[in-house]
Structure 1
């Protein structure tokens, strides 16, 4: 698109409904969770249910966990409360897919049924070893967090090992707070296992810790891989380390980073560090740092490497300390995952593009080309606005009038975010995915992305309108529709 200023408005029709689901009892087991899901999943209100993004069948969902390509299929675990739409008594949900688009729900993998995880089976990762699937997770018992292992021989049922916790809080460096020590990501390098995990320091900053092991059961502390500063939040979460295009990449989620320009306006942010790791010394030399998504709902990113050599990321499409409309409306669910995204490096920064498999699941509706637009006005009162201003190169996403208000802990409220996207050959390229209650924008081949939830209420919110101030030329535009409901 070649223009002076352009505003693109996307509107979706939905009608609000309400329902009430029963809460669970005081004991938690995998069997009880699965029985509850089977008996109650049909009660979920469908109004805002996404059509081609991953969601749990019922209840609350947050961080993606254990994301792995294993035995010819993609496995996704996730933080899960099946009993109601709140982040309480977290289990591990589980699903698998052959193409990252069509998902099959599997039985709940783990429940908070041990003393060391009685307050939640918190986030973690997975690793194949000796034909078995190992998952490493954080056991939360209230005042202390520890790292634990569970093993599956059939990829469905998991047995927590007798040696748990395999990493105790007593192994922490002296500057770490044991109540905030979580989110292990396991990797294998040179026939040795490593895990990166995070802790809050006594100075209330974040840090990434590195442990090593020969067998995934006995671990020893190696080093502080990266130390955060007060300008990088009060705590880090969900670390992920991998090699990509000749560099080392560390992705993590930072709590309460101070606002800098257009960056870090959400209460929590996902940050991508690019550089090199000295594995002998156990430290990360940072070359570049960037916020990974400039929308309102993107957190807890985790990646995998598949059989095609692709580094694929998925994130929780929501944000902490916000209102959750589907929970407040008693729809019986809250939370979803982003579209899986392929990661690459461009100019030493991460870029994200949607998995190409999604294109196999939509049909082309219409196209436009060489269409000139001139000054116009908005036709709809309720609207979600995607705008671009050529004088500043700012691409913005505004949901202030999208429908059901979304409030949060941020001050001022975050109902619009923007990011600088320079024109390329005087053109802006946008790939936009709309679902019933979400929008994901990929600008200039994934150089920047913006992700947000929206909850329209008006029946008239069913059109897509293009409005400009000045003159714009649409070089090429295509509309496609997903033809098959996923997951």
Structure 2
């Protein structure tokens, strides 16, 4: 049998659904076996959203990189995942790495990095492909056969964009001279692609590699999303081993300068968020990220059960005064089981508790009154995940030190709150996504409770809060259907 037998792998996937282990999430995309990571090829095509993502169907190691594929019309009902792209020729024999997608002349096409190694030499190539009726990607022309002069073999993750009727791509890279990260732009001219050079920023030496670039437009502003590797952690940011963030400004494709850009800002403040990809449809910028972190495999005990990682929920992005706000895609409201809704309406309260469901959405508006210390907790028996807000320091701390399995630690970030703390939580079996102050900040993380119990929401403060209002809903599971 071939190493990557689509028919056999798809049959095994069919047997793996519905997902049954107590750590398997109900409304986050994940697989019954193997390791998933970067979302890829996000495209709206012929009435459906297409989501590809990196997947190793042969084990829980970062190798055998393939692409899996699902499609959805509403982010609730999905086709069953299938194997779509896999290493099978000289160009991508060492992995089908990340890339993007586009709808073109009635076809869904993808652009990805072919990874090939000859001894210790890495030879990347950028290749187009076309989705076929059987769910596989037909491999078409190679548009960039190798890395350009002055750039190392770390040259990957192309992302297509258009300006003034012309097509371009941005691609992550590493300079050969000093092994620092950068992003290059290519322009299409009469069917060929030409290197316009690096995007010049004021960031200077900013890590040893920039992965997964996206170039977005919000009105008159350009936003460069990328994942720098090798940044030093600071007290209130850059606290993961690798970061995912952006700068907003104005990109001149004539001078290749990102002008008047903001400082680098993180897209997510949690432990488990990397390699986001954004696509635009009907004026919405929609983001999916990988809920995981490279080189931290020991933080994820589901590896013992044969699978690793999830994707985030889809998020809508908006740019306000140079800062990206992210909120859950509006379609996710259809996951709410309306008859389950629990109203919260308490005044002059210093503690509160509410048992949650197997999967929950929590929407809270906390009027602080005179309170200075507020802690919102998810209790799993004696285990605990907490969000601790210090009103004096204007600092939010996410603390999972009281979990027994998986990654631990704390993440701190600045969050300005005047009188009211807004918090929206999506609590799945292991995936937790939090949105603060109506999307001003977000945090994605995974916890692996030792016991199979429904969590309890608890709020504690130093003095009585003026009020706590909100709702808790039970959320339905994603519905997986036969591919069509």
TM-score, normalised via structure 2 length: 0.86
Find out whether 1:249 has 2:247 as its counterpart.
no
Runs of 4+ that moved beyond 6 A: 375-379
Q: How does 1:58-207 map to 2 (within 5 A)?
A: 58-142=33-117, 143-152=122-131, 154=133, 156-161=135-140, 163-164=141-142, 166-170=143-147, 172-174=148-150, 176-178=151-153, 180-202=154-176, 203-207=178-182
SS in 1 for 2:297: coil
CA spacing shift, 1:160–1:331, aligned 2, 3 Å: same
Between the aligned partners of 2:220 and 2:51, the Cα distance in structure 1 is: 27
Deviation at 1:484, TM superposition (A): 3.9
Which range moves more in the overlay, 103-112 or 370-379? Answer: 370-379
Deviation at 1:207, TM superposition (A): 0.6
Between the aligned partners of 2:456 and 2:468, the Cα distance in structure 1 is: 21
CA spacing shift, 1:375–1:325, aligned 2, 3 Å: closer
Between the aligned partners of 2:32 and 2:49, the Cα distance in structure 1 is: 18
Instruction: Assess if the C-alpha contact under 8 Å between 2:26 and 2:476 holds in 1.
Output: no
CA spacing shift, 1:486–1:393, aligned 2, 3 Å: farther
Structure having the higher strand fraction is 2
Between the aligned partners of 1:155 and 1:344, the Cα distance in structure 2 is: 36
Deviation at 1:326, TM superposition (A): 5.5
Q: Please give the per-residue CA displacement for 1:184-207, whole angstroms capped at 9, x wherever unaligned.
A: 001233332111001111212111
The runs of 5 or more residues in structure 1 that have no matched partner are 1-24, 407-413
Q: Please give the per-residue CA displacement for 1:157-194, whole angstroms capped at 9, x wherever unaligned.
A: 32112x43x20225x142x112x000000123333211
Instruction: Give the paired residue count.
Output: 447
Find out whether 1:366 has 2:342 as its counterpart.
yes
Deviation at 1:151, TM superposition (A): 1.7
Between the aligned partners of 2:250 and 2:467, the Cα distance in structure 1 is: 42
- Structure with the larger RCO, 1 or 2 (CA within 8 Å, 6+ apart): 1
1:418 is aligned, of 400, 412, 423, to 412
The runs of 5 or more residues in structure 2 that have no matched partner are 353-374
Find out whether 1:225 has 2:225 as its counterpart.
no
Which range moves more in the overlay, 277-286 or 240-249? Answer: 277-286
Find out whether 1:439 has 2:432 as its counterpart.
yes
Partner of residue 465, structure 2: 472
TM-score, normalised via structure 1 length: 0.86
Deviation at 1:83, TM superposition (A): 2.1
CA RMSD in angstroms, aligned pairs only = 2.4
Partner of residue 275, structure 2: 300
Partner of residue 14, structure 1: none
Between the aligned partners of 1:235 and 1:278, the Cα distance in structure 2 is: 23
CA spacing shift, 1:313–1:173, aligned 2, 3 Å: same
Between the aligned partners of 2:58 and 2:313, the Cα distance in structure 1 is: 25
Partner of residue 15, structure 1: none
Between the aligned partners of 1:185 and 1:228, the Cα distance in structure 2 is: 22
